[in-house]
């Protein structure tokens, strides 16, 4: 299917279209926003703590006098880069494992399937916490936790698709015509699994933002004073009574981004392949 | 039925074995010398070998694993490095609050989710349906630690109706359970709705309609009962996420539960605690899934197992 055809179908769902624009806006802010902020994200001004909403501080300042809007903008960089790097690398590994298991079957499949089962035996957030327990905290380790978090579900989905594709006539025809395994896998099997993979990646991005911010909120992910959104919420909760915006701003930012990824994922699913109906955002909490 | 149950139970055993290996292996995966990290003891120190033995880190890896499992069966999960108390005893003290949260959250979210889902399916493509779908999307997407803080802001700090700390009284339990339950409402609403919509298009429903069975009977007797099977699976899976998700709620409401114990353990590099809690949580999750599987094979005799 061409890009134009997908775009034409995607445009029809207005909620998904709006969500896409919101995401593009947030990406733009994350990319260029830091060049326009008046303050540094960790710049303290104790004389100016709990400053009310004003032109100088559009979202006020926190208990250390740091400008919340500035921190929110820098935080979008941290949160989004963790989500993208984590999900893309995790999904890459997931796709690889899924293809290997689905296409080669036998002991390869058994081995990989058991691995998936074990990873899925850790409910939701527990897997991420266990990984951080091994690796320690920090931005990179949070990314790795997010990546491993994405592997099992992606591998399972791709494995299923590959198994159903493997026995179809066009793949068997390729085998008969002497195409190499690599060519069959990349040219024929993967292209047909692509729409499902794209949709899963989009939905995973949303749940990864939730997972990464949950880790940081627990004090196990990105550490303060780094303005990751979950870490901001954690710092803000102590002074919620005097400065509710310190909690509302990062909390709403997380929620809006997660909702948007979910809506874009739904739109993509309908646009790419209306038959894929029952894929949902994987709740991480 | 009995044969299936037996087979399903037997299947769980290798799962638990691999799970125990992973949890055992966790400590080996930590970069550096585990004895040094945990006890802060130098390799040159006299007490090094003693501590190594006490932590069960002497001998080959296979020996270590066998010994670790043997101790597990004796109910020995090691001693917390931080509190110096047996890990199993500590877990026992903290299991109840987490269980209350997870069970309360599951019950609450099941009631609301199934109601919402049914309503949305009955009013398919009308305003109620769209409204409920938007609501459930918001519930799914809001991090529990954020909704917890909002609920505290409204009901504890502004209205002063409910306490925001602990799990001591039924009043104190309301906010944590509601927070945790809300996270699961969204997905249960969606599962119930789509399952109902699938069932409604089946032949036997059309037959019932053709025979003039009243709509109410069709919805509740014929459709709903059959639509409940995927919902049950979903509730089982949700229970696991709520068990782990309770960690966040426990943190916000200062509840001394299993999740908080785990997080503190990670923070203190108290690896016996981390291993013990991860193992207990994962095993509970596997067992709940087993129970759910057995339950729905009892509910729906059509399910065939290979």
pLDDT tens, position by position, B99-130: 999 999 999 999 999 999 999 988 888 898 99
A263: closest chain B residue by CA: B137
- On whether residue B97 sits in a domain, the answer given is yes
Listed in sequence order, the DSSP H helices in chain A are: 3-12, 14-32, 68-104, 106-120, 125-135, 139-166, 169-176, 181-183, 190-217, 229-237, 245-272
The per-residue pLDDT for A82 is 93
Model pLDDT for residues B54-98, shown as the tens digit of each residue? 777 777 788 888 888 888 888 888 888 777 888 888 898 889 999
Q: A259–B240: do the CB atoms touch at under 8 Å?
A: no
Cβ of B278 and A130 within 8 Å? yes
Smallest Cβ–Cβ distance between B143 and the set A134, A281, A285 belongs to A285
**Domains, chain A, ranges and CATH?**
13-27+67-278 (1.10.3720.10)
B81 in any annotated domain: no
| Residues of chain B contacting A247 with CB distance shorter than 8 Å | 146, 149-150, 153
C-alpha span between B215 and B16 (Å, rounded): 46
Chain A positions touching B152 (Cβ under 8 A) are 240
- For B90-101, write each residue's pLDDT tens digit: 898 889 999 999
How far is the alpha carbon of B29 from chain A, nearest alpha carbon, in Å? Answer: 7
Residue of A232, A243, A231 lying closest to B157 (CA atoms): A243
Mutate one of B140, B253, B271 to test the A interface: name it (highest A CB count within 10 A): B140
**pLDDT given for residue A280 in this prediction:** 42
**In this structure, is residue B276 part of a structural domain?**
no
For A284, nearest residue in chain B (alpha carbons): B241
The Cα of A183 is separated from the nearest Cα of chain B by a number of Å equal to: 34
Between chains, do A259 and B153 touch, taking CB under 8 Å as contact? Answer: no
Interface with A, mutate which of B24, B31, B145 (most A CBs under 10 A)? B145
**Which residues neighbour A184 within 8 Å (Cβ) at sequence distance 6 or greater?**
A171, A174, A175
Question: Percentage of chain B surpassing pLDDT 70?
Answer: 93
Residues ≥6 apart with Cβ < 8 Å to B223 = B196, B199, B200, B205
pLDDT of residue A177: 84
CA distance A229 to A80: 10
The CATH number of the domain holding residue B213 is 1.10.3720.10
Q: Which chain B residue has the Cα nearest residue A213?
A: B143
Q: How far apart are the first and last CA of chain A?
A: 35
How far is the C-alpha of B266 from the C-alpha of B251, rounded, in Å?
14
**What pLDDT, on a 0 to 100 scale, did the predictor assign at position B294?**
82
In degrees, rounded to 5, the angle at the alpha carbon of residue A84 between the alpha carbons of residues B235 and B252 is 50
All residues of chain A having their beta carbon less than 8 Å from the beta carbon of residue B268 are none
Nearest to A227 by CA among A12, A6, A74: A74
Which residues span the domain enclosing B133?
93-257
Q: Is B180 among the domain residues?
A: yes
The pLDDT score that the predictor gives to residue A140 is 92
Full pLDDT tens readout for chain A, 285 residues: 678 888 888 888 888 999 999 999 999 988 887 787 777 777 667 677 777 777 677 777 777 767 778 888 888 999 999 999 999 999 999 999 999 998 888 888 888 988 888 888 888 788 899 888 888 888 999 999 999 999 998 999 899 888 888 888 888 888 788 777 778 887 788 888 888 888 889 989 999 999 999 999 998 888 888 888 998 898 888 888 888 888 898 999 999 999 999 999 888 888 887 555 444 443 333
From the CA of A251, how many Å to the nearest CA of chain B? 6
**CA distance linking residue B126 with residue B131, whole number of Å:** 9
Q: Given pLDDT bands bounded at 50, 70 and 90, which one contains residue B26? A: confident
Cβ pairs A/B, distance under 8 A: 138
Answer for the pair A208, A149: CB distance below 8 angstroms, yes or no.
yes
Domain contains B154: yes
Q: Among A218, A148, A120, which residue's Cα sits nearest to residue B240?
A: A120
* pLDDT for the residue numbered A283: 35
Is B144 in contact with A217 (Cβ distance < 8 A)?
A: no
Name residue A67's beta-bridge partners: A61
For B39, the token pair is 């006890």
Q: What is the pLDDT of residue A214?
A: 93
Phi, psi of B79 (to 5 degrees): -115, 140
- Token pair for B238: 């949700």
Average of per-residue pLDDT across B175-188: 91
Q: What is the pLDDT of residues B127-141, one digit of tens each?
A: 989 999 999 999 989
Report the distance separating Cα A199 and Cα A194, nearest Å.
9
Distance from CA of A27 to the nearest CA of B (A): 19
Contact A206, A257 (CB under 8 A): yes
Task: Give B74 to chain A, closest Cα distance, Å.
Answer: 24
Name, of A89-103, A214-228, B37-51, B281-295, the range with top average pLDDT. A89-103
Which tokens sit at A228?
């990751």
Is there a contact between B243 and A123 if contact means CB atoms under 8 Å apart? Answer: yes
The helix-helix angle for A245-272 and B127-141 (nearest 10°) equals: 120
**DSSP-derived 3-state class of residue B59:** coil
Which pLDDT score, from 0 to 100, does residue B306 have? 42
Q: Tokens 């949303």 — which residue?
A: A206
Q: What pLDDT is attached to residue B270?
A: 83
Residue contact B22–A117, C-beta within 8 A: no
Per the CB < 8 A criterion, the answer to whether A204 and A150 are in contact is yes
| CB contacts, 8 Å: A206 with chain B | 141
Q: In this complex, do A129 and B266 lie within 8 Å of one another by their Cβ atoms?
A: yes
Residues B188 and B184: their CA atoms lie apart, in Å, by 6
Tokens of A42: 């960790």
- pLDDT at position B204 is 82
In a domain, B37, yes or no: no
In sequence order, the β-bridge partners of residue A61 are A67
Pick A251's closest partner by Cβ from B149, B248, B285.
B149
Distance (Å, whole) CA A156 – CA A239:
43
| Partner-chain contact A254 B243, CB within 8 Å | no
What is the least distance, in Å, from the CA of A176 to any CA of chain B? 32
Contact residues for A236 (Cβ-Cβ < 8 A; gap 6+):
A62, A243, A246, A247, A250
Number of domains in chain B: 1
* Cα separations in angstroms, B233 against A67, A94, A113, A146: 46, 24, 20, 25
Q: Would the CB atoms of A129 and B245 count as touching at under 8 Å?
A: no
Q: How far apart are CA A136 and CA B298, in angstroms?
A: 45
Q: What is the mean pLDDT of chain B?
A: 84
| CA-based nearest residue in chain B for residue A285 | B245
Please determine, for the modelled complex, whether the ipTM score is greater than 0.90. Answer: no
Residues of B in contact with A121 (CB under 8 A): 15, 19, 282, 285-286
* DSSP-derived secondary structure letter, A277: -
Q: Residue B153 and residue A132: Cβ atoms within 8 Å? A: no
């Amino acid at each position: 299917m061409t890009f134009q055809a997908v775009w034409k179908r995607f445009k029809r769902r207005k909620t998904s279209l709006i969500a896409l624009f919101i995401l593009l806006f947030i990406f733009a802010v994350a990319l260029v926003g830091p060049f326009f902020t008046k303050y540094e994200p960790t710049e303290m001004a104790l004389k100016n703590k709990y400053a009310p909403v004003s032109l100088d501080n559009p979202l006020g300042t926190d208990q250390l006098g740091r400008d919340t809007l500035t921190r929110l903008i820098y935080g979008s960089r941290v949160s989004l880069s963790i989500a993208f790097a984590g999900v893309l690398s995790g999904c890459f590994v997931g796709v690889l494992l899924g293809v290997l298991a689905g296409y080669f079957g036998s002991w390869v499949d058994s081995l990989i399937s058991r691995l998936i089962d074990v990873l899925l035996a850790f409910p939701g957030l527990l897997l991420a916490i266990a990984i951080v327990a091994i690796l320690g905290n920090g931005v990179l380790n949070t990314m790795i936790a997010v990546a491993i978090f994405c592997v099992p579900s992606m591998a399972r989905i791709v494995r299923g698709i590959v198994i159903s594709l493997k026995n179809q006539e066009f793949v068997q025809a390729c085998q008969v015509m002497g195409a190499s395994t690599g060519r069959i896998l990349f040219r024929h099997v993967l292209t047909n699994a692509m729409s499902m993979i794209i949709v899963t990646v989009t939905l995973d991005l949303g749940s990864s933002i939730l997972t990464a911010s949950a880790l940081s909120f627990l004090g196990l992910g990105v550490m303060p004073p780094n303005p990751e959104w979950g870490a901001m919420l954690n710092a803000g909760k102590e002074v919620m009574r005097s400065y509710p915006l310190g909690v509302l701003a990062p909390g709403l930012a997380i929620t809006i981004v997660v909702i948007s990824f979910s809506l874009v994922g739904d739109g993509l699913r309908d646009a790419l392949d209306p038959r894929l109906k029952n894929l949902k955002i994987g709740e991480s909490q | 039925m009995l044969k299936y149950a037996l087979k399903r139970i037997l299947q769980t055993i290798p799962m638990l074995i691999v799970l125990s290996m992973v949890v055992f292996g966790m400590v080996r995966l930590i970069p550096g010398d585990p004895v040094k990290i945990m006890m802060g003891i130098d390799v040159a120190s006299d007490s090094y070998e003693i501590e190594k033995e006490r932590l069960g880190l002497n001998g080959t890896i296979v020996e270590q694993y066998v010994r670790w499992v043997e101790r597990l069966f004796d109910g020995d999960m090691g001693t917390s490095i931080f509190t110096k108390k047996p890990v199993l005893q500590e877990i026992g003290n903290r299991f109840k609050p987490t269980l209350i949260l997870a069970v309360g959250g599951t019950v609450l979210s099941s009631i609301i989710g199934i109601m919402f889902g049914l309503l949305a399916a009955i009013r398919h493509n009308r305003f109620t349906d769209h409204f409920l779908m938007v609501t459930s999307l918001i519930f799914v997407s809001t991090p529990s630690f954020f909704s917890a803080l909002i609920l505290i802001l409204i009901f504890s700090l502004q209205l002063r109706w409910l306490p925001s700390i602990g799990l001591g009284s039924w009043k104190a339990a309301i906010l944590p359970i509601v927070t945790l339950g809300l996270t699961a409402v969204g997905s249960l609403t969606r599962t119930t709705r789509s399952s109902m919509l699938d069932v409604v298009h089946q032949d036997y429903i059309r037959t019932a309609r053709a025979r003039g069975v009243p709509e109410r009977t069709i919805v509740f007797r014929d459709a709903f009962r059959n639509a409940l099977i995927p919902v049950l699976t979903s509730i089982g899976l949700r229970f696991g996420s709520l068990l782990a998700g309770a960690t966040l709620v426990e943190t916000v409401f200062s509840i001394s539960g299993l999740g908080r114990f785990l997080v503190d353990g990670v923070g203190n590099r108290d690896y016996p605690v981390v291993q013990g809690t991860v193992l207990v949580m994962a095993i509970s999750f596997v067992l709940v899934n087993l129970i759910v599987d057995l339950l729905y094979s009892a509910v729906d005799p059509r399910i065939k197992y290979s």
